[in-house]
Amino acid sequence: MEAFSTISAEFGVWAIVVSFLVMGLAGFIKGAIGFALPMIVVSGIGTVVSVEIAIAAMILPSLVTNFWQSARNGLGEAVASFKKFWRLNVLLLVVIYYSAKLVTSVPESFLYLTLGGGITFFGALQIIGWRPKVKQRLRHYFEAITAVVAGFFGGLAGVWGPPILMYLIAIETPKAEQIRVQGISFLLGSIMLTFAHLNSGVLNAVSIPFSAALIMPALAGMFVGFFVQDRIDQQLFRKVTLIVLVLAGINLLRRGFLG
């Protein structure tokens, strides 16, 4: 394919091999804990290609895997979860669309350092025992703040899961619903990001076929990950989720400092 020829000519054939391996790993982790595909893909594939191609590579696999994650328990459950968190999702879409237009004008290091710092700090606090509580009467406000922060980084760096995940953990969402709500928010965000980057030029004649080819390793990894997810309890799930979150944050900080 012309896309692979272009990418291998610019970044080397190993960039393509690494991209497939990273996507398979990202799919596995997403299947196991319900998130982290964009973070792993952008930070992992971004080590062998440009950040714009890494973001593009993530988009189509995200669309497909997020649909599977959202609808795994049935479309009825997915609709009910969307209605429960509709404010979060609607505002997320709006912010992703407008912030995506800035993707070529904001320094990569700023994005990685800001997002990585926040993820690492709050995730580590929860691992050592800090358990944030969000009162029922304040949830709408925290939902709005979460949506704005997640949408901002989603549009700029293709990573909007961590703020949403931290909010869902804070309101003590059960495992099955947490994974479903994440999937819905990620799916809607992926759809908006796709349209936004068709306009921005990040998705183009080279990056679209490359992204499409990475769907299969993502699905294969996710299938195995679901097997693991179904066999871990709520507390272990929460602990593993936070550990992966902090590791992803540290990796983003590494990218911010080292480029």
Q: Which tens digit of pLDDT belongs to each residue from 149-206?
A: 888 887 777 677 778 888 888 888 888 888 899 899 889 888 887 888 888 788 888 8
Q: Identify the segments of the chain with pLDDT beneath 50.
A: none
Amino acid 189: pLDDT: 82
Amino acid 104: pLDDT: 64
Q: Roughly how many angstroms between the first and final C-alpha of the chain, as a whole number?
A: 29
pTM of the model: 0.78
DSSP structural state of residue 158: S
CB atoms within 10 A of CB 191: 17
Tokens standing for 105?
A: 């004008």
CB atoms within 10 A of CB 94: 14
DSSP structural state of residue 49: S
Longest dimension (CA), the chain: 56
Distance separating alpha carbons of residues 126 and 96, to the nearest angstrom: 27
Tokens standing for 67?
A: 């649909």
Amino acid 259: pLDDT: 62
Tokens standing for 191?
A: 């759809």
CB atoms within 10 A of CB 73: 16
